[in-house]
Amino acid sequence: MPVASERFDSLTPRQRDVVPLMAEGLQNKEIAKRLGMAEGTVRVHVHAVIRALGCRNRTEVAVAVSGQPAQEVPSSAHLVAIVRSAAPDVMRIVAAEESGALKPDEARKLIEDIVALAAA
């Protein structure tokens, strides 16, 4: 699911700086430190990137910007980047399950969807 160039081109320069770090799986705090900006500013950029690229979460952004056709076997570095970018989403799902906000079968389905998306 490579991103259409016009969608990527619509990002601001600072949002374009954030995208590869998101794809590496860095958390907002780590991105903020690398780019010398406030964590809140990074959060705003991350949400704007997700919306602008038509994605639902950080994992989809990582997959979308990878540019790899689905039939190619990704490199181990690419897989690590996808897993790292999925980790925050998975951790939020686990926390929601542990707090009782999600039933175990709902959490499992969401995690399966993330894994399927990352493998696509």
- Report the pLDDT value the prediction gives residue 31, as an integer from 0 to 100: 93
What is 30-78 written as a DSSP string?
HHHHHHT--HHHHHHHHHHHHHHTT-SSHHHHHHHHH---TTSPPPHHH
Name the pTM for this structure: 0.56
> Residue 45: its pLDDT value, please?
94
Alpha-carbon radius of gyration of the chain: 15
Options 1.10.10.10, 1.10.1240.10, 2.60.40.10, 3.40.50.300; CATH for 5-119 is 1.10.10.10
For the chain of 120 residues, list the mean pLDDT of each consecutive stretch of 10.
Answer: 68 90 89 93 94 87 69 59 77 87 86 72
pLDDT of residue 10: 85
